């Protein structure tokens, strides 16, 4: 059963696959969403741990990330999903 479910995963969410899209929202300093072919993907940056918006410097972290990537096309390399269903993304394998 597990193998059958694994084969049904979308190709773009396999490990070490490139995923490109325009950043449409920034949740906090290490989480943002992109749109790709009318499908929304929530991305959690691999190896980055920023404070949440309600924590000290959380809003500054969000603002910084937003200033750098909001509205821009980004390319990430996928590293699976986290426990919340977000795509774990980075720039290298």
43 CA to centre of own chain: 1
Q: What is the pLDDT of residues 2-41, one digit of tens each?
A: 333 434 444 446 678 899 999 999 999 999 999 999 999 9
- Could you say which of 39, 46, 52, 62 is catalytic? 52
CA dist., res. 71 & res. 25, Å (int)? 8
- Residue 67 among the catalytic residues: no
Instruction: Please say if the pLDDT value at position 58 is more than 90.
Output: yes
- Residue 53 among the catalytic residues: no
In terms of CATH architecture, what is 2-90? Beta Barrel (2.40)
Q: What is the pLDDT of residues 64-87, one digit of tens each?
A: 999 999 999 999 999 999 999 999
CA dist., res. 26 & res. 89, Å (int)? 14
70 CA to centre of own chain: 13
């Amino acid at each position: 059963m597990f193998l059958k479910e694994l084969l049904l995963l979308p190709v773009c969410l396999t490990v070490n696959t490139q995923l490109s899209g325009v950043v449409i929202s920034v949740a906090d300093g290490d989480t943002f969403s992109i749109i790709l072919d009318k499908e929304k993907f929530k991305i959690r940056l691999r190896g980055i741990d920023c404070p949440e918006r309600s924590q000290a410097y959380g809003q500054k972290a969000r603002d910084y990330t937003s200033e750098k990537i909001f509205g821009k096309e980004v390319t990430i390399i996928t590293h699976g999903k986290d426990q919340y269903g977000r795509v774990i993304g980075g720039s290298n394998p």
